[in-house]
Amino acid sequence: MINGYDQFIQSLKAKNNRDYVAKVMQEMNGTTNSNSQTSRKNKQQQQKKKNDEFQKYSLEEFMNKTTELEIFHDIHIFPIKGLNELVEWLKSFSYTITTKHVDPLERNSDLSTISSIKSGTDNKDSYLKSLQQFKYVIENVAKKIYGLAPTFGNLYDKLNSYDELKDNNGGRLVRSDVESGLRKVLLSDDCNELLDE
């Protein structure tokens, strides 16, 4: 973010305009009297002193440099007019980022239902609500998982040591796609597996 960027561009444009006017006036030098020439020269010298900081680059060179920074170095320039505008911009930007969810079409389908976080009143309730973030895990299924593995650590151990999650009777505890999602979250070594198919 650059404070005063637009004002700087305007001052470079004004300098270019003044230089152009001075050049035209020099070419028309024969039609003006010597007094007006002297006063103009004095004004031009004063302006030149004021604009010494702008002498390094012309407007075109400055725009080329900033475009080069944006394209080749991936630096994005956000012009702001003051600190108040900066604060408002940051508040708006932060709100947008925190409320934006990943596009459901680009999500891993097994984890596509995870969105807003549900919180519980105690450890057990928080664990059950966390499990319910997974696709097809309703309250009853979460309670079944809790009966077998009352913490994420226990669930990790069960998934790591057994081929399938089984109940006390030896039957399947949850659907295969639910178990697949749990395995991806708890056992995956590849962080991209949670995002990509």
Which amino acid would we find at residue 37? Q
Which residues of the chain are modeled with pLDDT < 50? 197
pLDDT of residue 110: 57
pLDDT of residue 197: 47
Report how far residue 52's alpha carbon sits from residue 21's, in angstroms, rounded to the nearest whole number: 18
| DSSP, res 170 | S
pLDDT of residue 103: 56
Structure tokens at 134: 């997974």
Contacts of 154 (CB under 8 A, 6+ apart): 148
pLDDT in tens, 149-176: 899 889 988 888 877 888 878 888 888 8
